Amino acid sequence: DAKTTQPPSMDCAEGRAANLPCNHSTISGNEYVYWYRQIHSQGPQYIIHGLKNNETNEMASLIITEDRKSSTLILPHATLRDTAVYYCIVRVTGTYKYIFGTGTRLKVLA
């Protein structure tokens, strides 16, 4: 079954790059990897998604391994406002069910 595995927590110094890993070894060939974050008491917010190639937008970069079994979300210059829980998400093929997992709690330190 679709599943993601992430470290439960990470710290990052303000201004440094935050690299958040995710294992999704059971991902199907046509399924995207999505990253969302959730700040306390709010709903999850979209960050980025990708299929095979690395992706970059104004918020982050996404590096996907060639075998697609894992990926890394990179926040290039973390700020205090990036403190949140980050979820790596995959879909159960053929459904509208997305698997969020337990996420990584990122704490950006001043």
Partner 1 sequence: DTGVSQNPRHKITKRGQNVTFRCDPISEHNRLYWYRQTLGQGPEFLTYFQNEAQLEKSRLLSDRFSAERPKGSFSTLEIQRTEQGDSAMYLCASSLTGEMLGSGYTFGSGTRLTVV
Identify residues 47-76 at the interface with partner 1 (CB under 8 A). 49
Residue 46 lies near partner 1 (rule: CB under 8 A): yes
Judged by CB, which is closer to partner 1: 30, or 110? 30
Among 24, 27, 71, 103, binds partner 1 (CB under 8 A): 103
CB contact set of 22 (below 8 Å; sequence gap of 6+): 4, 5, 6, 33, 35, 70, 71, 72, 73, 88, 101
CB of 35 to partner 1, least distance (A): 10
Euclidean distance between CA atoms 60 and 48, whole angstroms: 7
Distance CA 4, CA 84 (A): 18
Site map (CB under 8 A) of partner 1, residues 13-32, x = contact: -------------------x
Task: Check if the beta carbon of residue 29 is closer than 8 Å to that of residue 73.
Answer: no
- Residue 92 near residue 4 (C-beta atoms within 8 A): no
Question: If binding is defined by CB under 8 A, does position 9 make contact with partner 1?
Answer: no
Nearest to partner 1 of 87, 108 (CB atom): 87
Q: Which residues bind partner 1 (CB under 8 A)?
A: 32, 34, 36, 41-46, 49, 87, 89, 91, 95-98, 100-103
